[in-house]
Amino acid sequence: MTVIETEEQRELRAAVAKLAQKYNYRDYVQAKGRNHEPLTELWDEAGKLGFLGVNLPEEYGGGGAGIYELALVQEELAAQGAGLLLVVVSPAICGTIIAKYGTDAQKDRWLPRLADGSTKMVFGITEPDAGSNSHQITTTARRDGDEWILNGRKVFISGVDQAEAVLIVGRTEDAKTGKLQPALFIVPTDTPNFVAQPMEMDIISPDNQFLLFMDDVRLPADALVGSENAALMQLFAGLNPERILGAAMAVGMARYALDRAVAYANERTVWKTPIGAHQGIAHPLAQIKIETELAKLMMQKAAVLYDSGDEMGAAEAANMAKYAAAEAAIKALDQAIQTHGGSGLTKEHGLASMLAGARIGRVAPVSREMVLNFVAQHSLGLPKSY
C-alpha cells in the first residue's frame, strides 16, 4: 500500500483546489448556506471538469479512477469550505452501487449523467423507527405482476429537492420462506405517491433534509438494482465509500479551520508578539494538525484498501477514518473560534456556522457510538450489548 501520490493525483488536487478557491466559503458557500440554496454553480463546474465522476468507469464517461481520487476531490473542496455533501451520496454511494451491481440498462441510463454531474441521485436508508438499527427498517416492496409496490417512511434524506431519483433501501419478501431480505430500488422523485417533505433543521447548510412518505408507490420491475439476492453486497459496496467520503469532507473542513486559525494567530497582536507565539494558542493548533494528518492517513488507507478490492479491511479503516476525521474537524473549528476570540463568533468569519456543519459528521452517516461499537466488536472481539 502506498499513499505517496502520483503526479496525476497531485495535479488533480491542484486543479480542484483552484476551482474551490473560486467558490470558497466566505465568498460563496456561506451565503448559499444561510439561504439553504444548493451550490449549483460549483457542482456544475466540478461536473464539467470531470471531478464528480472521477471514480466512475471510463466507458460510462467517468474518470476510471477510484474512491481515493473522489475522496481527494472532496477533501480539496472542503479545504476551501466548499465540500459537497451530495458527492457523498450521488457519485460515491449510488454511482458505485450501480457501476458494480446495476444492470446494463441501469448503467446506461444513470452512470454517464452521474459522472458529469448533470443529474443527482440521493440515498435513503434511515427510518424514523430504525435509525442506527438498519436491521429494523420496514420499507417493503411487494411484487404486483411486473411491478413493485413500495411502502414506507424515510427521514433525514439529504438533497431530495435536487435529485432526479432516490436510491431507497427497502426489503422484499422471499416468495418461498416469507422472510424479508434487503433490496435497493431506484425511485424517481416524480413518481406518483412519492412525497418528500422538507425538515426544519437548525444548521446552516446549502443542502436540505427530507422526510419521505411512500404509500403504494408503483415501480417498474427494473427499478430493483441488480438482482434480488445481492442487496447486502450492494449495500456494503456503497457504505464504505460513504464513510470514506464523509471522512474526506471532515478532513478538508479541519484543514480549512486550521488555516483560518493559523492565519489569524500570525497576524493578531494584543501584547508584544502575535497571539500565535503564546503556547496556549499554538499547542492546541499543533495538536489539531497532528490529529488531522492522522485522520487523513487512515482515510487514505481505507480508500487504498477499498480500491484494491479488500472491502472487509476497508470497512474497519473507513469507520476509524470517519470517526477520527469528524472529531478533528469539530475540534479544529472550535479551536479556530477560540483563536479568533470574539471575532470567532461573528458572521464575517463564519466559523460558528461551520461548526454546526462539522458536527453532522459525529452523527451521520454513522454515529460516533456505532463506529465505537463496530471497533469494539470487530476489531477487539468484545461482546455486543444490543
Binding region for ligand FAD (CB under 6 A): 89, 122-126, 131-132, 156-158, 209, 360, 363-367, 369-370, 373, 386
Look at residue 253 and give its three-state secondary structure. helix
CA neighbor of 121 nearest in space, from 132, 133, 112? 112
Comparison of 47 and 124: residue with beta carbon closer to ligand FAD = 124
> Residue 361 Cβ, how far from ligand FAD at the closest point, in Å?
9
Cβ atoms of residues 57 and 111 within 8 Å: yes
Cβ-closest position to ligand FAD: 131
CB of 359 to ligand FAD, least distance (A): 9
Closest distance of CB 23 from ligand FAD, Å: 21
Helix (H) or strand (E) holding 198: strand 194-198
* For ligand FAD, the closer CB: 121 or 351: 121
> 244 or 262: whose CB is closer to ligand FAD?
244
**φ and ψ of 74, to 5 deg:** -60, -40
H/E element, 355? helix 351-363
Distance CA(196)–CA(211), nearest Å, equals 6
The helix/strand/coil state of 153 is strand
Helices and strands counted in the chain (H then E)? 12, 7
Pairing relationship of beta strands 194-198 and 147-158 according to DSSP bridges: unpaired
Residue 89 or 245 having the CB closest to ligand FAD: 89
Cα 92 to Cα 55, 56, 128: the distances in Å are 8, 9, 24
User: Cβ of residue 157: shortest distance to ligand FAD, in angstroms?
Assistant: 5
CA distance 124 to 57: 24
User: Between 89 and 295, whose beta carbon lies closer to ligand FAD?
Assistant: 89
> What span, in angstroms and rounded, lies between the C-alpha atoms of 251 and 9?
17
Q: Please, what is the minimum distance in Å from the beta carbon of residue 212 to ligand FAD?
A: 9
Q: Could you tell me the smallest distance in angstroms from the CB atom of residue 132 to ligand FAD?
A: 3
Residue closer to ligand FAD (CB basis): 338 or 367: 367
